[in-house]
Structure 1
Amino acid sequence: MDGDRPSKILIVDDHSENRKLLASIITKHTDHQIVTASGGKAVLEHIEDERPDIILLDIMMPEMDGFQLAKILKAKEKTRDIPIIFITALDSEEDKVKAFEYGGIDYIIKPFNHREVLSRVNAHLVAKRHLEQITEFNETIRYELSISRQIQKNFISLKELHDGGLSVYTRYIPKEEISGDIYDVIKVGDGKFLCFIADITGHGIPAALYTMMLKSSLEKQIRNPEVPLSPSGVLLELNKELCETLIPGFFITAFLMIVDLNTMRCVYANAAHPAPLFYRASTGEFVTLPVRSTILGVKKSLEIAEESISLEQTDKILLYTDGITEMTGDDSRILGENSLREIFASNSAASGNELLDKMMGDILAHSADKTWDDDVTLMEIEFSPKE
Structure 2
Amino acid sequence: MMQAPPEDRYELALRASNEGIWQWDVQKGYVSYSDRVLSFLGYEEGAEAPNIFMRPEYFFHENDVAKFERALAKMLEPNGEEIFAIDCRYIRPDEAVTWLRIRGACIRDASGETLRMAGSMIDISKRKNAELALEEERHLLNQLIENIPSSIYFKDTESRFVMVNKALAHKMGYENVHDLYGLSDHDVFDDAHANKSRADELRIMATGEPLEESLEREVWGNQPDTWVLTTKLPWHDRNGKVKGIFGVSSDVTDIVSVQIRLANVTEELKHRNEEYAQELELARQIQYSVIDSTPLPFPRDEAVTRYGVEFSSRYLPDSEMAGDFFENLKISDTKVGVLICDVMGHGVRASLVVAMLRGLVEKERESSESADWFLYGLNDSLAKILNHAGIQMFATAFYAVVDLEKETFQYASAGHPMPFIKRNGKVEVLSSEKIVRGPALGLMPEAPYGADTLPLSEIEQLIMYTDGIYEVENSKGEQIGVEGLCAILNKHPKLNADEALHLLMQSAKDFTSANSYGDDVCMFAFDVIKNG
TM-score bracket, normalised by the shorter chain, equals 0.5 to 0.7
- Shift of the alpha carbon at 1:196? 0.6
- AA aligned to 2:381 is E
Aligned partner of 1:263 in structure 2 is: 406
- AA aligned to 1:213 is M
Is 1:214 paired with 2:357?
yes
Aligned partner of 2:285 in structure 1 is: 150
In 2 relative to 1, CA 124–254 (structure 1 residues): closer, same or farther, beyond 3 Å?
A: same
Is 1:242 paired with 2:345?
no
Structure with the higher fraction of residues in strand conformation: 2
Tell me if the contact between 2:420 and 2:427 (Cα under 8 Å) persists in the aligned partners: no
Find the aligned partners of 2:521 and 2:478 in 1 and give their Cα distance. Answer: 18
The 3-state SS of whatever aligns with 2:421 is: strand
Q: How does the TM-score come out when normalised to structure 1?
A: 0.64
In 2 relative to 1, CA 123–173 (structure 1 residues): closer, same or farther, beyond 3 Å?
A: farther
Find the aligned partners of 1:196 and 1:219 in 2 and give their Cα distance. Answer: 12
In 2 relative to 1, CA 372–142 (structure 1 residues): closer, same or farther, beyond 3 Å?
A: farther
- Shift of the alpha carbon at 1:273? 0.3
- Shift of the alpha carbon at 1:312? 3.0
Tell me if the contact between 2:318 and 2:521 (Cα under 8 Å) persists in the aligned partners: yes
Over residues 10-35 of structure 1, what are the superposed CA-to-partner deviations in whole Å (9 max), with x where a residue is unaligned?
xxxxxxxxxxxxxxxxxxxxxxxxxx
- Shift of the alpha carbon at 1:379? 1.1
- AA aligned to 1:319 is M
Pairing partner for 2:230 from 103, 114, 127: 127
Aligned partner of 1:194 in structure 2 is: 337
In 2 relative to 1, CA 135–193 (structure 1 residues): closer, same or farther, beyond 3 Å?
A: same
Over residues 204-247 of structure 1, what are the superposed CA-to-partner deviations in whole Å (9 max), with x where a residue is unaligned?
1111122122122112211x3xx472000111111111111124
Pairing partner for 2:487 from 311, 331, 342: 342
Aligned partner of 2:319 in structure 1 is: 176
In 2 relative to 1, CA 104–85 (structure 1 residues): closer, same or farther, beyond 3 Å?
A: farther
> What percentage of residue pairs aligned between the two structures are identical?
26
Pairing partner for 2:430 from 252, 271, 288: 288
- Shift of the alpha carbon at 1:198? 0.9
Aligned partner of 1:321 in structure 2 is: 466
In the TM superposition, what are the counterparts of 1:78-157 in structure 2 within 5 Å? Answer: 101=206, 126-128=229-231, 130=249, 139-157=274-292
- Shift of the alpha carbon at 1:322? 1.1
Q: Cα RMSD (Å) of the superposition?
A: 3.6
- AA aligned to 1:351 is N
Tell me if the contact between 1:253 and 1:295 (Cα under 8 Å) persists in the aligned partners: yes
Aligned partner of 1:359 in structure 2 is: 504
Find the aligned partners of 2:530 and 2:372 in 1 and give their Cα distance. Answer: 25
Over residues 327-378 of structure 1, what are the superposed CA-to-partner deviations in whole Å (9 max), with x where a residue is unaligned?
2221112222111212322343222433322221111112221302111101
Over residues 246-274 of structure 1, what are the superposed CA-to-partner deviations in whole Å (9 max), with x where a residue is unaligned?
24320111111011123332010011001
Tell me if the contact between 2:461 and 2:497 (Cα under 8 Å) persists in the aligned partners: no
Over residues 295-333 of structure 1, what are the superposed CA-to-partner deviations in whole Å (9 max), with x where a residue is unaligned?
111211322111122223871100001111222221112
In 2 relative to 1, CA 100–288 (structure 1 residues): closer, same or farther, beyond 3 Å?
A: closer
The 3-state SS of whatever aligns with 1:162 is: coil
- AA aligned to 2:502 is D
Aligned partner of 2:295 in structure 1 is: 160
In 2 relative to 1, CA 103–184 (structure 1 residues): closer, same or farther, beyond 3 Å?
A: closer
The 3-state SS of whatever aligns with 2:356 is: helix
The 3-state SS of whatever aligns with 1:384 is: strand
- Shift of the alpha carbon at 1:176? 0.8
In the TM superposition, what are the counterparts of 1:64-75 in structure 2 within 5 Å? Answer: none
Aligned partner of 1:302 in structure 2 is: 447
- Shift of the alpha carbon at 1:284? 2.4
In 2 relative to 1, CA 102–384 (structure 1 residues): closer, same or farther, beyond 3 Å?
A: closer
Is 1:279 paired with 2:414?
no
- Shift of the alpha carbon at 1:144? 1.7
- AA aligned to 1:241 is S
Find the aligned partners of 2:398 and 2:204 in 1 and give their Cα distance. Answer: 60
Q: How many residues align?
A: 284
Moved more, 317-326 or 126-135: 126-135
- Shift of the alpha carbon at 1:105? 9.4
Tell me if the contact between 2:293 and 2:315 (Cα under 8 Å) persists in the aligned partners: no
- AA aligned to 1:190 is D
Tell me if the contact between 1:321 and 1:376 (Cα under 8 Å) persists in the aligned partners: yes
The 3-state SS of whatever aligns with 2:393 is: coil
Find the aligned partners of 1:270 and 1:311 in 2 and give their Cα distance. Answer: 19
The 3-state SS of whatever aligns with 2:418 is: coil
In 2 relative to 1, CA 135–266 (structure 1 residues): closer, same or farther, beyond 3 Å?
A: same
Find the aligned partners of 2:460 and 2:510 in 1 and give their Cα distance. Answer: 26
- AA aligned to 1:383 is V
In 2 relative to 1, CA 239–125 (structure 1 residues): closer, same or farther, beyond 3 Å?
A: closer
The 3-state SS of whatever aligns with 2:474 is: coil
In 2 relative to 1, CA 98–380 (structure 1 residues): closer, same or farther, beyond 3 Å?
A: closer
In 2 relative to 1, CA 378–128 (structure 1 residues): closer, same or farther, beyond 3 Å?
A: closer
Gaps of 5+ in 1: 1-55, 57-82, 88-95, 107-114
Find the aligned partners of 1:104 and 1:173 in 2 and give their Cα distance. Answer: 32
